[in-house]
Amino acid sequence: MLVRSDEGAFDCYLAAPAAGRGPGIVMVSTIFGVDDDLIKMCDDLAARGFLSAAPDLFWRDDKGPMPRTEEGVRRASARAEDRAGLASSGTRDLTAVLTQLRAHPSCNGKTAVIGLCFGGPFAIIAAAKLGCDAGASFHGSVFGNHLDELAATTVPLSLHWGDEDFAMPAELLLKVCTATQRNPSAEIYIYPGVKHGYTCPSQSKAYAPDAAALTWARTLPILDRLKSS
């Protein structure tokens, strides 16, 4: 799918359910971009009756996914250094994606965002500011920059980290828990012995299949409720 915005057009992988209409789910990638891990997640969601999309939020600079080589890590890290700028441009891109998803004939009008690592905070931004009906973050990073949005979010949230995740030190986790206190629909899960990036099979040193399966098992019921609400 080509997404059009006031700033230009950018690519977005789209996977539609075989029949009927379902909620629109936007998957926001890690710093490596829309890779095979994310595409499989979108395809799996479509098989469960969701209209799923994975936009390229790095289209203004380096396009396409980065390999998990030393050079790929260097380039991916460099393009994600401007977190404030990417949060702003990414929010605009996400707004355009959500607008097109809601108008898609396979969407029932409900939407949610799932963000991985770099993409994690976009689930909170979308829930707090973009009218999404739910959000989920898998090993999300820089959550300390988004505590205000987190505190303003009232829709269901499903937030997941490993207890060995460098992106979620204990003091930040406490702030996240405090920010969600007024939201009875917010769920926070911590997985023992699990590292950053654990839901991504290509992250061979971090991938934890049991924790990844449990993460999805806890997230999918929140998304499934959007099918009938």
CATH number of the domain where residue 201 is located: 3.40.50.1820
Mean pLDDT in residue range 182-190: 96
* pLDDT for res 229: 58
- Does residue 81 or residue 108 have the better pLDDT? 108
pLDDT at res. 62: 66
Domain extent, residue 61, equals: 2-227
pTM for the model = 0.95
Q: Has residue 67 got a pLDDT over 90?
A: no
Q: How far is residue 46 from each of residues 3, 20, 42, 43, 96, measured CA to CA in Å?
A: 19, 11, 6, 5, 20
Using pLDDT thresholds of 50, 70 and 90, give the confidence band for residue 63. Answer: low
pLDDT band of 61, cuts 50, 70, 90: confident
Average pLDDT in the 199-216 region?
A: 95
Report pLDDT digits (tens) over 118-136: 999 999 999 999 999 999 9
Is residue 42 predicted with pLDDT exceeding 70?
yes
Number of domains in the chain: 1
Over range 149-163, report the average pLDDT.
97
